[in-house]
Structure 1
Amino acid sequence: MSLNLHGVIPPLVTPFDSDEHVDVELLRAEVRHHLDVGVPGLCVTGSTGDGQMLSAEASVAVARAAVEETAGAVPVVAGIVRDSTAEVIRYGLALKETGVDALQVTPVHYLFQPDEATTVDYYRRIAEATGLPIVVYNVIPYALIPAPTVLRVLNEIPSVVAVKQSGGNIHQLADLLHADPAGGTVLTAVDDLLYPAYLLGAKGAISATLTVAPELAVRQWDAVQAGDHQTALAIHNKLLPVWRSIDGPNMTVRIKAALRLQGRDGGLGASPLTPVSDAEREAIATALTAAGVTVV
């Protein structure tokens, strides 16, 4: 099973209204914004989209809106952040009905971890049950899938088409890129090291910074592909402070604040995320302005 995931694939926020229901129209507007920028793919209901907070019904509403709005122009990847194989399959089958192109699946993220054989079996069962391409989302700090296990999953399960490597920083990503798995694509989600990840061979990225500043992110990717490393490095130095300003325990509401500062509307955050402070908002505005992103 193949799916061409490459380049800048922003993970969208999930806009909530004052009752903490999904605001589908705000989501559609964000989809249109990113399509206008020219991204080659989109991701919904992942970490940036508060996927761990979403019911299956809410996840389906988000995914359906994204699929309808893209109308096949780019692939849509839908995230699942659950704690059992059965729950992931339940979400996956519901999301499949929306027409998403792939599922982005974390390992189980509760305290107790499966061993290597069980992890491989976990992704195999999900792939077989859903019949969709799978992206391994390797992000959970205390359930990080070691690089050799990721390689087994990519090479042994045809439906697993990519890994989004987030946890383990550049070190685990470097090991995966060095191995150059034939069975799938390696994407980066290490926001402060996007540029070096591209140089090491990452085929693209799915990470929060791309959502906040997609124009800069696309320009950086294009510069790397063209061998214009002076431009790519200059953009890295603009994006790094943006990432530092949104990184934190309340990251998704900081991202929404960053969108609002640009005249975009990512909706409200969901409880119990800590609201953005005035100091945090000022730091975000300062970083965006320094990066040349228009603040309104």
Structure 2
Amino acid sequence: MALDLHGIIPPLVSPFTADEEPDLEALRSEVRYHLDLGVHGLCVTGSTGDGQMLSIEDSVAIAEVAVQESAGRVPVVAGIIRDSTKDVIRYGKAIAATGVDALQVTPVHYLFQPDEDTTVEYYRRIADETGVPIVIYNVIPYALIPATTVARVLNEIPNVVGVKQSGGNIHQLADLLHIAPKGGKVFTAVDDLLYPSYLLGAQGAISATLTVVPELCLRQWDAVQRGDLATALDLHNKQLPVWRAIDGPNMTVRIKAALAMQGRNGGCGLSPLTPVSDAERATLRAALEAADVKLIA
């Protein structure tokens, strides 16, 4: 069966115990929570899942849980955030063995940006050597892949099936959707502009807001699909303050705090992420309450 990535694909947090080991039971609960709501796919070990901080063993363990719990109901995408082609392939082969449906791969993220031809070959080699469909994760601010290069990768490499467009905000996304690459799908990760992203033609979203308030995001996606733009705009106005409250250098621990307020166990954060302050916690609570999200803590 052909891989069908579309719609609302939340990038899950990676829960950890107090001694910084993966809390796999907490992860199972989060996977079930999203599946029960009817999400269209799941993403693990991305930025929201602290993917850049994970060992290969932790990445594999987390991917295994997502695949086991999903049991084929929705596609599972696993992120890889490494700094060399060799390391990406090493992670990719290990994660592929868990049965994930696709790998979400950033460009290298430490200081240096390959040129266009090298970027194309980077993704070609990863796709060829892992044998798994690839989603480009275009997020690194100082290694942002231009829209024209993204389109070239999608059009030239059959096993690169999509792009999660995050960096460069709505302008980069607009340019990419205008090019309309035939070789893969374009997913938005511009959290404060999910609604206009869909109107411009984005074929779904893989972004942090989906993890915090998946029910609102599913309702918004459905509203856009049926042409109910008034409802979609109302949901945008509820989601926007939530994004503003979680956006920041310590985003993943803010997200985990927001989940805890809903009675969901996102586990502990990893060192050296800055803990959530009382002021941040108050802002999170106010945003969730204003969005009519049920809070129990």
Query: Do these two structures clear the TM 0.5 threshold for a shared fold by scoring above it?
Result: yes
Deviations 1:94-117 (A, max 9, x none): 001100000000000010111000
Matched, 1:86 2:86: yes
Give, as a single letter, the amino acid of the residue that structure 2 aligns with 1:60: V
Unaligned runs of 5+ in 2: none
Instruction: Tell me what 2:225 maps to.
Output: 225
Distance 1:96 1:88 in 2: 12
Is 1:208 the counterpart of 2:212? The answer is: no
Partner of 1:9: 9
Equivalent pairs, count: 296
Match of 2:263 in 1: 263
Match of 2:240 in 1: 240
Does 1:26 pair with 2:26?
A: yes
Match of 1:130 in 2: 130
Given the two structures, how large is their TM-score scaled by the length of structure 2?
0.99
Paired with 1:171 and 1:4, the residues of 2 have a C-alpha distance of: 26
Give SS of 2:43's match.
Answer: strand
Could you tell me how far 1:81 is from its partner in structure 2?
Answer: 0.1
SS state of the match for residue 5, structure 2?
coil
In 2, Cα distance between the equivalents of 1:3 and 1:187? 15
TM-score with structure 1 setting the length: 0.99
Q: Amino acid of the residue matched to residue 273 of structure 1? A: L
Q: Provide the C-alpha distance between the structure 2 equivalents of 1:243 and 1:275, rounded to a whole number of angstroms.
A: 18
Give the alignment of 1:7-156 within 5 angstroms.
Answer: 7-156=7-156
Write the letter of the residue equivalent to 1:207.
Answer: S
Quote the offset at 1:180 in angstroms.
1.0
Contact 1:2 1:133 in 2 (8 A): no
Cα contact 1:188–1:207 (8 A) shared by 2:
yes
Q: Distance in 2 between matches of 1:90 and 1:119?
A: 18
Distance 1:3 1:170 in 2: 26
Matches within 5 A, 1:175-190: 175-190=175-190
- Structure 2 letter corresponding to 1:85: T
Q: Is the 8 A contact 1:26 1:266 kept in 2?
A: yes
CA RMSD of aligned residues (A): 0.7
The residue matched to 1:77 in structure 2 has which SS?
A: strand
- Cα deviation for residue 2 of structure 1 reads 4.7
The amino acid that maps onto 2:230 is: Q
Task: Report the identity percentage.
Answer: 76
Instruction: Name 2:281's counterpart in structure 1.
Output: 281
Deviations 1:230-288 (Å, cap 9, x if unpaired)?
00000000000000000000000000000000000100000000000010011000000
Aligned residue for 1:269, secondary structure, equals: coil
Answering whether residue 164 of structure 2 is matched by residue 164 of structure 1, we say yes
Letter in 2 for 1:154: L
Partner SS, residue 295 of structure 1:
coil
Deviation at 1:4, TM superposition (A): 1.3
CA offset digits 1:133-173 (Å, max 9, x no partner):
00000000000000010011000000000000000000010
Alpha-carbon deviation of 1:3?
Answer: 2.1
Secondary structure of the 2:257 match is helix
CA distance in 1 between partners of 2:118 and 2:98 (Å): 29
- Segments ≥4 residues shifted beyond 3 Å: none
